[in-house]
Amino acid sequence: MIKNVYLGHGGYGQPIYLRRDGTVSEQAEEERQRPSWDETFMAVAEVMARRSTCDRAQVGAVAVLGQRLIAEGYNGALAGMPHCDEVGHDMLDGHCVRAVHAEQNLVTQNVDLSGATVYTTHSACWPCFRLLVAAGVDEIVYRVPYRQDEDTTRIAAVVNASVKRGFRIIQLRRYKGR
């Protein structure tokens, strides 16, 4: 059987192969499942989310700088305090307020987040968004739009204002990977 024929490398260092059917592939068959950086870091955020003990929102977040993981967090009760899955939720205005949010736990790891990208499984609430901006985070990449409420409006207002004023406070991006 004739194998794919290696032709060389493309502009991004990707191997280019001539397939048996005569078409050109820019990725070897065996490399096709290799995750992109976006997919890699979102996958780590999802593993962090699985540690969350409030099943109303299992949220995970990781901070990345120059393709390196520098901090991580998940939605969970204060250290040493009972978890929601042990004692039930602590509800206020329709939200469980026991857990320290994933982004808050990430920021309190005391790592310099200037210029970092934060991958979160769920879009940030207003207090977390505010905290990430204040910490110097450059970009937030989220998978699930968690809330559509006044928090979303406040966040959009900040993002739009920063565009209008000609400097970027923070960039928001919805995750498009697998």
**103 counts as catalytic:** yes
Task: Give least dist CB 99 to Zn ion, A.
Answer: 6
Catalytic-role residue among 86, 103, 139, 150: 103
- Give the distance from CA 64 to its chain's centroid: 9
| Residue 24 contacts residue 17 (beta carbons within 8 Å) | yes
Please return the burial class of 34, using the count of CB atoms within 10 Å of its CB with bins 0-12, 13-18 and 19+. Answer: exposed
Task: Give least dist CB 97 to Zn ion, A.
Answer: 8
- Among 62, 64, 116, 125, contact with Zn ion (rule: CB under 5 A): 125
User: Considering the rule CB under 5 A, would residue 89 count as an interface residue with Zn ion?
Assistant: yes
Of 39 and 46, CB closest to Zn ion: 46
Per DSSP, the residues of 116-146 read: -EEEEEEPPPHHHHHHHHHTT--EEEEEE--
Of 56 and 154, CB closest to Zn ion: 56
**In angstroms, what CA-CA distances link 69 with 91, 103, 118?**
33, 14, 10
- How many residues in the shown chain lie near Zn ion by CB under 5 A? 8
| Residue 106 contacts residue 61 (beta carbons within 8 Å) | yes
Q: Map tokens 């929102």 to a residue.
A: 57
User: Considering the rule CB under 5 A, would residue 95 count as an interface residue with Zn ion?
Assistant: no
- Binding-site string for Zn ion from residue 128 to residue 167, where x marks contact by CB under 5 A and - marks none: x---------------------------------------
Stretch that binds Zn ion, among 33-41, 95-103, 130-138, 157-165 (CB under 5 A): 95-103
Q: Which stretches of the chain bind Zn ion, using CB under 5 A? A: 54, 56, 84, 89, 96, 101, 125, 128
